[in-house]
Amino acid sequence: MSLKSHAQGSPFPPTKPGVLRIYSMRFCPFAQRTRLVLAHKNIPCEVVNVDLVKKPDWFLALNPLGQVPVLQIDDKIIPESTATCDWLDDVYPENRLQPVDPYLKVWDRVLHEYISKLIGPLYGAMRATDASEIEMKAAEIKKHLQFYEEKLKGRGDGPFFGGSKPSGFDFLMWPFYERLPALTILKDNPVLEIEADKIPTLTAWDKAMRQLPAVKNTMFNALSHVNWYKSVGKGTPDYDMYLAEH
Longest dimension (CA), the chain: 55
Structural domains in the chain? 1-96+237-246 (3.40.30.10), 102-211 (1.20.1050.10)
In tens, the pLDDT along 144-201 reads 999 999 999 998 888 999 999 999 999 999 999 999 999 999 999 999 999 999 999 9
45 is catalytic: no
Pick the catalytic residue: 22, 28, 37, 50? 28
d(CA 144, CA 148): 7
* Model confidence pLDDT, tens digit, residues 203-215: 999 999 999 999 9
Round the average pLDDT of the chain to a whole number and report it.
96
Q: Please, are residues 244 and 4 in contact by the beta-carbon 8 Å criterion? A: no
The phi, psi pair for 193, rounded to 5°, reads -65, 135
Tell whether the model's pLDDT for residue 246 goes beyond 60: no
